[in-house]
Amino acid sequence: MPRPRNDNFLRALYRQPVTRIPLWLMRQAGRYLPEYCETRKRAGDFLALCKSADLACEVTLQPLARYDLDAAILFSDILTVPDAMGLGLYFETGEGPRFLRPLREELAINDLCAPDPYDRLAYVLDATRAIRKALDNSVPLIGFAGSPYTLACYMVEGGGSKDFRHIKTMLYARPDLLHRILDVTSQAVTAYLNAQIENGAQAVMLFDTWGGSLSGAAYREFSLAYMRKIVAGLHKEREGEKIPAILFTKGGGLWLESIAESGCDAVGLDWTVDLGDARRRVGDKVVLQGNLDPNVLFAPPEIIAREAEKILASYQAAGDDMTGLVFNLGHGISQFTPPEHVCALLKAVHAYPTR
């Protein structure tokens, strides 16, 4: 199959020259868009939206209809994997995601098994095919999953957490149990991402939202080691094209060199890392993705443009050209972002010289 008509995102990941610096946004299909809120209301609830291939396709395309973005990302949720493992995912109003059966007991942990993505997660694969068809080769489609450690945080805590007391108690007191969870989850995530690739994803991304809450030694043992295992097990090519893998650890800038050695093609950075410093630290080893603070998008358009240009200038000053860069936010876009402010960001990034 030919490359998308706008292939700048893939070209950047291949370290090839681009006609403009590619930009997409983490959580680009979300509550900041009124059209998304309307579709979610029609779906009834968030899980129903995720589990409808037609509606997931609809919301994936909404930001592309509004903005000149350089990639689409599959609309789903990282917690679909533990839900498929039987933990009973639900969303509590005002509380976020919760699990009916959190993993605390040794017997339940030993019984944990990786689901067949073509069975328990078939609705995601249906959406992947529908989105790829609807894109009509306009821009690339990104698939994604949560990292094993981030998923384990939700699976053990039973939902979001401020102190990660349960999982960190397990990590230090019974590391064997946590390694069991991580091993099964890494098998599940590898199979899940490969299934997304088989059904049309042209790049994949691992979101390690909570890896940055660990000590350096614990991060390498309980988070990075399993992401490395997943990257090694991914399909590297499909339909004659390379399938790039992006790793993103929020708060992971301290370990950038180690992440760059994981076998991934690109490293996502949060806003705490200077992009030029990051480029000097890793050289041409990996592509970099990032990393505007999402809260900049609350500022006036001229400030948004100025802050984006600062990041681009920092990257440019650390190398000879602008190859090897995908522009993004340092984390997901806020639901309170004025939609028109995204236009200012796109205009500034796309206008920046590529040479």
Q: How far apart are CA 151 and CA 186, in angstroms?
A: 10
Confidence of residue 56 (pLDDT cuts 50, 70, 90): very high
Give the per-residue pLDDT at 355: 81
Look up the pTM and report it: 0.96
Within 10 Å of residue 44's Cβ, how many Cβ atoms? 10
Judge whether residue 93 has pLDDT over 80. Answer: no
Judge whether residue 94 has pLDDT over 70. Answer: no
Q: How far apart are CA 292 and CA 269, in angstroms?
A: 9
Confidence of residue 92 (pLDDT cuts 50, 70, 90): confident
Tell me which residues are annotated as active site. 27, 31, 40, 77, 154
- Tokens 């998923």 belong to 151
Nearest to 224 by CA among 149, 274, 292, 162: 149
Judge whether residue 200 has pLDDT over 70. Answer: yes
Overall average pLDDT of the 4-17 stretch: 97
Judge whether residue 68 has pLDDT over 70. Answer: yes
Q: How far apart are CA 203 and CA 243, in angstroms?
A: 5
137: left (phi over 0), alpha (psi -120 to 50) or beta: left
Judge whether residue 1 has pLDDT over 70. Answer: no
- pLDDT, tens digit (0-9, with 9 covering 90-100), for 314-336: 999 999 889 999 999 999 999 99
